[in-house]
Structure 1
Amino acid sequence: MQQLFTGMLLIFFDFNLTVNTALIGLVPDFVGYIFIYKGLLELTEESPHFKQILELSKSMVVIMAVIYLMNLFSITASSQLLTIILGTITTAITLYTIYHIVRGVLDIEISKNIDLFGEKLFSTWKAWAILSALATLLMFVTVISTILLLVGIVMAIIFLVTFYKSKNQFYALRETYTSDTNL
């Protein structure tokens, strides 16, 4: 779960440097998807949800690397429409990926009879997904879109803090019950 947490942290928060029209991602999203892929590999036996998005996360490494190169060479800067389309598609795929990660956490809770804060993760994800959809639909209403994006950032932080607690709880319980074959 540490790999998943690191991957989500890298994907949720972008640190970029702009030089002329080139956008240089200091920590590219494809690196985050590499971590997510590794985390999913570790957890595939825990839930079918992790296995279900394994190939998608591998594809996202490639897609995000291509987008990174397009930004680096100013290809996306020349087309606002292309930027909007790529941003919308990658946001939707990221939300879909996070949905399955949360469902996987919920599966672990049920199968191991433990609390990993899955319900809080799921409710936070739902709010964040709704905010992301609204921000995308209302992107040309600058004030509303900006407010939605700011609230979305807060939801992403809440999600990450909750996932961090979930990860720590998972490892603590796994270590406590190492002799138990159910964990």
Structure 2
Amino acid sequence: MKKIFWGMLFVFFNFTLTFGSSKLGLIPDFVGYLLMLSGVAELRGESECFVKAKPALIVMTIISLLFYIADFLGFGDTNSVILVMIINGLIVAGNLYSTYMITYGIKEMETNRQTDLAAERLMYMWKVRAMFTILTYLVLFIPILSLICIIVSLVFAVLYLIAFNRSRKLVEQFQLES
């Protein structure tokens, strides 16, 4: 689960250097998705949800790698707002689906192991983050509402990662005790 945690950190937070029309992502999403992919592969025996997350993570890895290369070469900028919105919408959907599958997989692990893995709190944080992430796109053309949604989404991304880290530590503790 440590790989999934670090992968989520890479995916949730973007730091980019811009050089003219070229961009260099300091924390590339594709590296995060690769880490998450490796993490769900390790947990595939724990829940079918981890297996279901794999195809989405593969697609997200490929898409984010292509965008990383395009941005680096200066081809990432486009004048088509609609195209950018559609692509970003698909990326958000893939991200939400894969993180939901991972979160639900932890919930199933909690049930199967009959031990507390703090899955309920993790699921709550995921739901609030997902809701505000989706709302950000729905109110995109109302700047102040969009900004509020982005800020709340960011706060809940951090809270989700904190909750995920707690669940991760509980899983590790359970594995040590077993």
- Give 1:39-78 correspondences, 5 Å limit: 39-78=39-78
Is 1:106 aligned to residue 107 of structure 2?
Answer: yes
Matched residue count: 177
**Could you tell me which residue of structure 1 aligns to residue 96 of structure 2?**
95
**Could you tell me which residue of structure 1 aligns to residue 143 of structure 2?**
142
CA distance in 2: counterparts of 1:23 and 1:116, whole angstroms: 39
Deviation (angstroms), 1:73: 2.5
CA distance in 2: counterparts of 1:74 and 1:92, whole angstroms: 25
Secondary structure of the 2:77 match is helix
Indicate the RMSD between aligned Cα atoms, in angstroms.
Answer: 1.1
Deviation (angstroms), 1:172: 0.9
CA distance in 1: counterparts of 2:106 and 2:176, whole angstroms: 17
Structure 1 stretch displaced more, 36-45 or 55-64: 55-64
Gaps of 5+ in 2: none
**Could you tell me which residue of structure 1 aligns to residue 26 of structure 2?**
26
Deviation (angstroms), 1:81: 3.1
User: Which amino acid is the alignment partner of residue 26 of structure 1?
Assistant: L
Secondary structure of the 1:106 match is helix
Contact 1:77 1:83 in 2 (8 A): no
TM-score, normalising length: structure 1: 0.93
Deviation (angstroms), 1:78: 2.4
**Could you tell me which residue of structure 2 aligns to residue 122 of structure 1?**
123
CA distance in 2: counterparts of 1:7 and 1:55, whole angstroms: 16
Deviation (angstroms), 1:23: 2.1
Contact 1:76 1:82 in 2 (8 A): no
Task: Return structure 1 stretches of 4+ with deviation > 3 angstroms.
Answer: none
Contact 2:56 2:97 in 1 (8 A): no
CA distance in 1: counterparts of 2:144 and 2:75, whole angstroms: 28
CA distance in 1: counterparts of 2:76 and 2:83, whole angstroms: 6
User: Which amino acid is the alignment partner of residue 175 of structure 2?
Assistant: R
Sequence identity percentage: 31
Q: 1:37 to 1:169 in 2, by over 3 A?
A: same
User: Which amino acid is the alignment partner of residue 22 of structure 1?
Assistant: S
User: Which amino acid is the alignment partner of residue 171 of structure 1?
Assistant: E
CA distance in 1: counterparts of 2:71 and 2:82, whole angstroms: 14
User: Per-residue CA shift, 1:119-178, capped at 9, x if unaligned?
Assistant: 11111111111101110011111111011101100000000001001101100111111x
CA distance in 1: counterparts of 2:74 and 2:86, whole angstroms: 16
Secondary structure of the 1:76 match is coil
Q: 1:82 to 1:74 in 2, by over 3 A?
A: farther
Deviation (angstroms), 1:110: 0.4
Gaps of 5+ in 1: 178-183
